[in-house]
Amino acid sequence: MPTATLTVRDGLVAPWAEWERRYTTGRRLLEAGTYALTEGAIAAGCRVFAGYPITPATDIAEYMSRRLPQVGGYYMQCEDELAGMHTCAGASLGGLKAMTATSGPGYTLMHDAYGWALTNEIPMVVVDAMRVGPISGITGAPGQGEFYVARYCTHGGNFETIVLSPSSVQEAFWLTIDAFNLAERFRTPVTILTDQVVSDMWEDLFIPADYDGLDFVVPRKSNLMMPFFPVGSAALDVPPNIIGRGTGVCVSAYTHTEEGYDIEEMEAQWAQSYRLVNKIRFHRAELTRYETVGMEDAEVVAVAYGANARTVKTAVLEARRRGLRAGFVRPITLWPFLDDLFERDCHYVVCELNYDGQLVREVMRAAPDKRKVHFMGKSAELHTVAEVTTALQGVSGSGRIPELPYIWTEVR
């Protein structure tokens, strides 16, 4: 049941393109990305936040501690990130939508709980505000080092993950609602991979007046009967299981049967893997979110996500103004990776905030000719418009990125 191939079109392809048109009454604010993430969660019906303070995600915790008691929710500051995400998973299992927020060092601690929530198909949202690393690195500088970590956020394989990445404060608001919707529909934890710039940046933000009137929010439903785990099926929109309603559901860390009993048989493992992988793979069309510019005639396409997509997009527009046939691709859904965006046979310049090259490897895999995929890595600060324009011109002219200070181009 593979999905039809995508026809790439210019502009923003995301559900909130339509939401923005329909909801126009509300407040216009100057606010931070962390505020938008918080309000998006509240608007989506999040009623539990459990986390541990960490720069640059701390502000989400602070906003949540103020907002959640106002709307009948619970804010918890846990002893560590492990407890934070497990508490969120527990709350979601009890019937409340839940979210946690952290940065790289806390995100690695959450893998334990992430795997537990993923195996047991517990909907929840994790925000990872990436900073430069490894480990603590520089707490106040942006990074994009968790591209693969977010995909393989737990051990053992046999699963697919959903990862979204906003690049503006306004988008962070809509995208958070979308993340909660996807979590409910796919019964899986959804990661929002933001970064220090998008989280801490202040921008104009539109917030709809009445959260209750948002008809696109997927409400929490409860699965009250067998099968609790439709192993061997890729069905979407199965209501999540609830503990505390006397359904007799069993939820565990082990490979499970339909009832949730632990089992040590290969057939059960195959059936569980089929569900965890294919419920996302078969419904990739539901997960397509991206933004493109100039893809109809592009010879060289700049690829970026998150904060630096903003400067990269400006550079592409500047390059086009100078007569270059440049294009721009910003995947918003990072995982499952949107291979179809890179079907065009042209040069790709992948700009990301790390020196090791992560997104570029996936683009190399997806693009028709990997020799035409170029890496433009920068660490701890955004690409400048001048740098990207120079690189686009270089690739367009000589087929390679000219030498630029503090830019790494080697992947292998």
Residues that bind other proteins (CB under 8 A): 48, 50, 66-70, 72-76, 78-80, 82-83, 86-96, 98, 112-113, 115-116, 243-254, 259-262
CA gap 411, 390 in Å, rounded? 20
Q: Smallest distance from the beta carbon of 183 to other proteins, in angstroms?
A: 15
Q: Smallest distance from the beta carbon of 95 to other proteins, in angstroms?
A: 5
When the beta carbons of 72 and 405 are compared against other proteins, the nearer one is 72
When the beta carbons of 125 and 363 are compared against other proteins, the nearer one is 125
When the beta carbons of 30 and 253 are compared against other proteins, the nearer one is 253
When the beta carbons of 113 and 163 are compared against other proteins, the nearer one is 113
When the beta carbons of 263 and 366 are compared against other proteins, the nearer one is 263
Q: Name every residue whose Cβ is closer than 8 Å to that of residue 229 and which is 6 or more positions away in sequence.
A: 120, 121, 241, 256, 257, 258, 259, 260, 272, 275
Q: Smallest distance from the beta carbon of 145 to other proteins, in angstroms?
A: 25
When the beta carbons of 116 and 335 are compared against other proteins, the nearer one is 116
Q: Name every residue whose Cβ is closer than 8 Å to that of residue 307 and which is 6 or more positions away in sequence.
A: 142, 167, 195, 196, 197, 198, 201, 353, 382
When the beta carbons of 78 and 411 are compared against other proteins, the nearer one is 78
CB burial of residue 203 (10 Å; 0-12, 13-18, 19+)? middle
Is there a contact between 51 and 74 (Cβ–Cβ < 8 Å)?
no
When the beta carbons of 65 and 273 are compared against other proteins, the nearer one is 65
CA gap 29, 168 in Å, rounded? 14
Q: Smallest distance from the beta carbon of 300 to other proteins, in angstroms?
A: 45
CA gap 222, 200 in Å, rounded? 36
When the beta carbons of 96 and 129 are compared against other proteins, the nearer one is 96
When the beta carbons of 52 and 337 are compared against other proteins, the nearer one is 52
Is there a contact between 78 and 50 (Cβ–Cβ < 8 Å)?
yes
Is there a contact between 212 and 33 (Cβ–Cβ < 8 Å)?
no
Q: Smallest distance from the beta carbon of 81 to other proteins, in angstroms?
A: 11
Is there a contact between 164 and 332 (Cβ–Cβ < 8 Å)?
yes
Q: Smallest distance from the beta carbon of 278 to other proteins, in angstroms?
A: 24
Q: Smallest distance from the beta carbon of 66 to other proteins, in angstroms?
A: 6
The DSSP bridge partners found for residue 205 are 29
CA gap 388, 401 in Å, rounded? 9
Longest dimension (CA), the chain: 68
Is there a contact between 298 and 326 (Cβ–Cβ < 8 Å)?
yes
When the beta carbons of 247 and 409 are compared against other proteins, the nearer one is 247
CA gap 5, 7 in Å, rounded? 7
Q: Smallest distance from the beta carbon of 62 to other proteins, in angstroms?
A: 11
* Residue in the structure block whose two tokens are 């049941």: 1
Q: Smallest distance from the beta carbon of 60 to other proteins, in angstroms?
A: 14
Q: Smallest distance from the beta carbon of 260 to other proteins, in angstroms?
A: 7
135: left (phi over 0), alpha (psi -120 to 50) or beta: left
The CA-atom distances, in angstroms, between 236 and each of 121, 162, 240, 272 are 12, 14, 11, 15
The CA-atom distances, in angstroms, between 27 and each of 24, 69, 205, 411 are 9, 21, 8, 45
Q: Smallest distance from the beta carbon of 252 to other proteins, in angstroms?
A: 3
The CA-atom distances, in angstroms, between 348 and each of 6, 62, 304, 339 are 19, 40, 10, 13
